[in-house]
Amino acid sequence: MSEQNAAPSVAFENVSLAFDDKVILDGISFDLQPGHMKIVLGASGAGKSTILRLILGLLKPDSGRIWVHGTRVDELSEQELMAVRADLGMVFQEGALFDSLTVRENVGYRLYEQTRQPVEEVDRRVAEVLGFVGLAEYGDRMPSELSGGQRRRVAIARAMTARPKILLYDEPTTGLDPITALTIDDEIIKLRDLEAVTSIVVTHQLRDAFHIATRRAVNGGGEVRFEPAPAEDQQDTEFMMLRDGEVAFEGPAADLRASADQYLKSFLS
């Protein structure tokens, strides 16, 4: 069975959600294949972050069905969702690091608290992921001692510690300067290309979105190199534009740029 025909990692079917009278999602459907990435674009309040919260089961839809790795999550209880969440990692907007814990405790939280793995083993894994995001010496710092970019990188490290199969990024570069934002983009690219993590990136930063979609990470002799991705690789990263609670566009970067739709054109300009 080819990868394209594999069971999707995430699937939405006619999902709708409204808060009071405000419709956030209006019957949206999409799926995400294993190892692929979806970049969700849209104006503020378009429901981008809501999609991630629905996948995690932090919110329940009013109607429709949501599958994660073949399990229907919209009808699971909080207790049943714990097993699904073990395969999911989420990078929250602003990081959402636990203020009272050190960087090491934040990054290893799931393994220290939720598993019976030996502490030495968890320490090794925490050191490994902190090294992956370039913060190996920051384990003993408190989150308040970190810059905005470092906090996001710690949040990425925390999300990937337990080796989830799917990573969800909620506005990972919002509020960061362009240089720092690029370092975060590169971490996301590395996880997609080197760790084969399926991912959904919610953002309204077009520069970052296209950077992630059009570049790839290559491991050459122990050193990670970033280069423009060939056209066939770019097919694995799809854009999804939300507008008025509906999917206004779904496709690769080249199709988005070539679209004649006036709304898309004005959004991209």
Partner 1 sequence: MKGGLSEALKRGLLEVQEYMRLIAQVGRGLVTRPIYARDIIEQLDAIGVGSLTVVILTGTFTGMVLALQSGMTLDQFGGREVVGRLVSASMVKELGPVLTALMVTGRVGSGIAAELGSMAVTDQISALRALGADPIRKLVIPRVVAGTVMLPLLTIVSDACGIAGGWIISTMQLRVAGSVYWNNVVQGLFLDDLWMGLLKPLAFGFVLVSIGCHVGLRTTGGTQGVGRATTRAVVGASVGVLVVDFFLTKLLIALMYRG
Residues that bind partner 1 (CB under 8 A): 53, 56, 58, 78-79, 82, 85-86, 88-90, 92-94, 96-99, 109-110, 113-114, 158
Report in angstroms how near the CB of residue 162 gets to partner 1 at its nearest: 8
Helix locations, the chain, DSSP H: 48-56, 78-85, 103-107, 109-114, 119-132, 148-160, 178-194, 206-214, 231-234, 253-258, 262-268
Compare residues 146 and 256 and give the one whose CB is closer to partner 1.
146
Report in angstroms how near the CB of residue 66 gets to partner 1 at its nearest: 15
Report in angstroms how near the CB of residue 113 gets to partner 1 at its nearest: 6
b (16+ CB within 10 A) / e for 63-79: ebebbbbeeebbebeee
CA distance 10 to 132: 26
Tokens in use for 212?
């992630």
Compare residues 148 and 252 and give the one whose CB is closer to partner 1.
148
Compare residues 79 and 262 and give the one whose CB is closer to partner 1.
79
Compare residues 77 and 269 and give the one whose CB is closer to partner 1.
77
Report in angstroms how near the CB of residue 159 gets to partner 1 at its nearest: 8
Tokens in use for 246?
């509906």
Question: Pairing relation of β-strands 37-42 and 198-202?
Answer: parallel
Contacts of 245 (CB under 8 A, 6+ apart): 16, 23, 24, 25, 26, 28, 46, 47
Report in angstroms how near the CB of residue 158 gets to partner 1 at its nearest: 8
Compare residues 42 and 89 and give the one whose CB is closer to partner 1.
89
